[in-house]
Structure 1
Amino acid sequence: MTIGKTIGKTLAWLIAALLILIAVLVIFILTFDWNRARPYVNEKVSEAIGRPFAIEGDLKVGWRHPVGETGWRAWVLWPRFSAQNITIANPDWTRQKHFATLDEIDFQVKVLPLLAHDIVIPAINLVNPSVDLERLLDGRNNWTFKLKSSAQPSEWKLDLHDIQLNKGMIALSDQQKKIDMQAVVDTLGQPIPIGEALKQQQEASRKSSAEVVGQRGAKQLTAQAKAASGASAASAVAPGAPASGASTTASEAAATAGAGASPAVPASSTGASAGTAVAPRQTAPQYGIGWTVKGTYNRSTVSGSGKLGGVLALQDRSRPFPVQADVKAGDLRIALVGTVTDPAHLAAVDLRLWLQGTSLDHLYDLTGITLPETPPYATEGHLIGTFKQGASVFRYENFTGRVGGSDLNGTLVYTQRPTRPLLEGTLVSNLLQFKDLAPVIGADSNASKKKRGDTARQPSNKALPTEQFKTDRWKAIDANVKFTGRRIIKDPALPITDLYTHLVMTDGVLSMEPLKFGVAGGSLASDIHLDGSTTPLKGRFSTQARHLKLKQLLPTAKTMQSALGEINGDAELSATGNSPAALASTSNGEVKMLVTDGTISLLLMEAAGLNVANVVYEKLFGDHDVQINCAAADFVVTDGVLDSRVFALDTQDAVINVDGKVNMKDESMDLGVHPHTKGFRVFTLRSPLYVKGTFKDPHVGVNAAALAVRGGAMIGLGLINPFAALIPLIAPSNNKPLPCQQLMTAMQAEHPTAPPPGQREKGGKGVKLPAGTPGASDAAPASAPSKKPAAPVNGASLPGPAHAADYKGS
Structure 2
Amino acid sequence: MPRPNPNHPLGPRLARLRERSAARTAALRAWAAEARRRHSTPEARRSQKRGLAIFGGVIGGLVLVMALFLLLFDWNMLRGPIGAFASARTGREVILAGDLEAKPWSLKPTATVNGLSIGDPEWAGDGKTVEIERLTIQMEILPLFRGRTILSRLEATRPVVRLRRDAEGRATWDFSKDDGRPSEPLDLPAIRRFIIEDGRIEMRDEQRGIQFAGQVSAREIRGGDGGFRLAGDGDLNGETFRLRVEGGPLINIDPGEPYPFDADIRAGATHVTAKGALPEPFDLGRFGLDLTAEGPDLSDLYGLTGLALPNTPPYRLSGRLVREGQIYRLDGLGGRLGDSDLAGDIRVDVSNERPFLSADLRSEMLDFDDLATVFGGAPSTAQGETVSERQLAVAQQLRAQQRIFPDSTLQVERIRAMDAELTYRAAAIEAPHLPLRGARVHLTLKDGVLDADEVVFSLPQGTFAGQIKLDARNDTPVTELDMRLSGARLEQLLPVADGGIAPLSGDLVGRVKLRGAGASVHRTMADADGELLLVVPRGEIREAFAELIGINVTRGLGLLLADDQTRTPVRCAVAHFRASDGVLRSNQIVFDTEPVIGHGEAEIDLGRERLDLRLDGQAKEPRLVRLMAPVTVSGPMLSPKVGVEAGGAIAQGGVAIALAAIAAPLAALLPFVDPGLGEDAACGALIAEAQRRGAPAN
Partner residue in 1 for 2:657: 771
CA distance in 2, matches of 1:465, 1:140: 35
Shift of the alpha carbon at 1:438?
Answer: 0.7
Among 242, 254, 271, the alignment partner of 1:303 is: 242
Among 393, 401, 408, the alignment partner of 1:467 is: 408
Partner residue in 1 for 2:492: 552
Amino acid at match of 1:377: Y
Contact 1:292 1:304 in 2 (8 A): yes
- Distance verdict in 2 for CA 1:314–1:141, change over 3 Å: farther
Amino acid at match of 1:363: L
- Distance verdict in 2 for CA 1:161–1:636, change over 3 Å: closer
Among 208, 218, 232, the alignment partner of 1:293 is: 232
CA distance in 2, matches of 1:695, 1:435: 18
Partner residue in 1 for 2:361: 427
CA distance in 1, matches of 2:305, 2:553: 64
- Distance verdict in 2 for CA 1:465–1:682, change over 3 Å: farther
Contact 1:46 1:52 in 2 (8 A): no
Contact 2:246 2:262 in 1 (8 A): yes
Shift of the alpha carbon at 1:358?
Answer: 2.1
Deviations 1:387-421 (A, max 9, x none): 2xxxx332222201211111111112223464643
Please tell me whether residue 704 in structure 1 is matched to residue 643 in structure 2.
no
Partner residue in 1 for 2:122: none
CA distance in 2, matches of 1:559, 1:121: 79
CA distance in 2, matches of 1:122, 1:578: 53
Please tell me whether residue 163 in structure 1 is matched to residue 192 in structure 2.
yes
- Distance verdict in 2 for CA 1:443–1:43, change over 3 Å: same
Please tell me whether residue 366 in structure 1 is matched to residue 395 in structure 2.
no
- Distance verdict in 2 for CA 1:367–1:108, change over 3 Å: closer
Please tell me whether residue 590 in structure 1 is matched to residue 531 in structure 2.
yes
Partner residue in 2 for 1:503: 443
Identical positions, percent: 23
- Distance verdict in 2 for CA 1:641–1:135, change over 3 Å: closer
Aligned residues: 601
Shift of the alpha carbon at 1:450?
Answer: 6.1
Aligned with 1:353: secondary structure?
strand
Please tell me whether residue 636 in structure 1 is matched to residue 578 in structure 2.
yes
- Distance verdict in 2 for CA 1:378–1:37, change over 3 Å: same
CA distance in 2, matches of 1:804, 1:164: 83
Deviations 1:97-141 (A, max 9, x none): 972447x9999987xx99x9x999987467895544345789998
Contact 1:594 1:807 in 2 (8 A): no
Partner residue in 1 for 2:692: none
Shift of the alpha carbon at 1:168?
Answer: 4.6
- Distance verdict in 2 for CA 1:507–1:89, change over 3 Å: closer
CA distance in 2, matches of 1:7, 1:143: 71
Partner residue in 1 for 2:217: 184
Aligned with 2:96: secondary structure?
coil
Contact 2:552 2:623 in 1 (8 A): no
- Distance verdict in 2 for CA 1:657–1:134, change over 3 Å: closer
**TM norm structure 1:** 0.61
Shift of the alpha carbon at 1:516?
Answer: 2.0
Aligned with 1:366: secondary structure?
helix
CA distance in 1, matches of 2:373, 2:161: 40
Partner residue in 1 for 2:419: 478
Shift of the alpha carbon at 1:7?
Answer: 6.8
Amino acid at match of 2:375: I
Among 551, 557, 568, the alignment partner of 1:626 is: 568
Contact 1:46 1:53 in 2 (8 A): no
Among 313, 318, 342, the alignment partner of 1:380 is: 318
CA distance in 1, matches of 2:540, 2:609: 32
CA distance in 1, matches of 2:615, 2:172: 74
Among 152, 161, 166, the alignment partner of 1:133 is: 161
Contact 1:531 1:539 in 2 (8 A): yes
Please tell me whether residue 577 in structure 1 is matched to residue 518 in structure 2.
yes
Amino acid at match of 2:619: T
CA distance in 2, matches of 1:569, 1:551: 15
CA distance in 2, matches of 1:160, 1:347: 12
Amino acid at match of 2:657: A
Contact 2:313 2:379 in 1 (8 A): no
Partner residue in 1 for 2:390: 451
Contact 1:184 1:293 in 2 (8 A): yes
Which has the bigger relative contact order, CA under 8 A and spacing at least 6? 1
Partner residue in 1 for 2:180: none
Amino acid at match of 2:535: L
Task: For structure 2, list consecutive stretches of 5 or more residues without a partner in the other structure.
Answer: 1-37, 62-66, 84-94, 120-125, 176-187, 382-386, 685-698
Shift of the alpha carbon at 1:305?
Answer: 0.7
Contact 2:130 2:162 in 1 (8 A): no
Aligned with 1:670: secondary structure?
strand
CA distance in 2, matches of 1:55, 1:581: 64
Partner residue in 2 for 1:761: none
Contact 1:679 1:735 in 2 (8 A): no
- Distance verdict in 2 for CA 1:601–1:320, change over 3 Å: farther
Amino acid at match of 2:96: R
Amino acid at match of 1:180: A
1:669-748 matches, within 5 Å, as 669-679=611-621, 685-696=627-638, 698-706=640-648, 736=655
1:130-279 matches, within 5 Å, as 130-134=158-162, 163-165=192-194, 168-175=197-204, 178-188=211-221
Partner residue in 1 for 2:452: 512
1:96-111 matches, within 5 Å, as 99-101=132-134
Shift of the alpha carbon at 1:677?
Answer: 3.4
Aligned with 1:701: secondary structure?
strand
Amino acid at match of 1:518: S
Contact 2:371 2:379 in 1 (8 A): no
Deviations 1:182-240 (A, max 9, x none): 22222256998xxxxxxxxxxxxxxxxxxxxxxxxxxxxxxxxxxxxxxxxxxxxxxxx
CA distance in 1, matches of 2:430, 2:200: 49
**TM norm structure 2:** 0.70
Among 335, 345, 357, the alignment partner of 1:411 is: 345
Shift of the alpha carbon at 1:667?
Answer: 3.0
Deviations 1:286-317 (A, max 9, x none): x952221112345553212113463775744x
- Distance verdict in 2 for CA 1:381–1:610, change over 3 Å: farther
Aligned with 1:631: secondary structure?
strand
Amino acid at match of 2:201: L
Shift of the alpha carbon at 1:61?
Answer: 12
CA distance in 2, matches of 1:160, 1:421: 27
Deviations 1:438-464 (A, max 9, x none): 122223289978626999975825433
Among 500, 503, 509, the alignment partner of 1:568 is: 509
Partner residue in 1 for 2:587: 645
Please tell me whether residue 349 in structure 1 is matched to residue 311 in structure 2.
no
CA distance in 1, matches of 2:479, 2:139: 69
Contact 1:323 1:338 in 2 (8 A): yes
Shift of the alpha carbon at 1:546?
Answer: 1.3
- Distance verdict in 2 for CA 1:515–1:38, change over 3 Å: same
